[in-house]
Structure 1
Amino acid sequence: MDVNTKVTDPREHVNEEPRNDLGDLMTGFFGMAAFMSVVFFGMVIVKFIFSE
């Protein structure tokens, strides 16, 4: 039985790019927190402008 198959070890991770998972997590968390803070304070300012 002659089968021409190429068997590779899936633990090699040959196509995996090096990534900084903790850095990505912290960037996303603090970026979203900063964005929500800007939205919050913007809505507070709008509330004070329209509440005469």
Structure 2
Amino acid sequence: MTDPRMHVNEEPRNDFMDVAIGFGATFGFFFLVALVATIIELFV
């Protein structure tokens, strides 16, 4: 295992925004799938 002190973060990024965007995208994707499934169930 590499020494964490040797690691240089070449691309500093806002971790909170990364998590927020990832959570939002995941929620949006599942919401879209559920919405489509509901519409299909209603019309079939």
Aligned residues: 40
Structure 2, unaligned stretches of length 5 or more?
none
TM-score, L = length of structure 2: 0.73
Higher Rg: 1
User: Which one of the candidate residues 14, 17, 22 is aligned to 1:28?
Assistant: 22
Identity fraction in percent:
35
Structure 1, unaligned stretches of length 5 or more?
1-9
Q: Which residue of 1 aligns with 2:31?
A: 37
Query: Over the residues paired in the alignment, what is the CA RMSD in angstroms?
Result: 1.7
Q: Which residue type is aligned with residue 44 of structure 1? A: T
TM-score, L = length of structure 1: 0.64
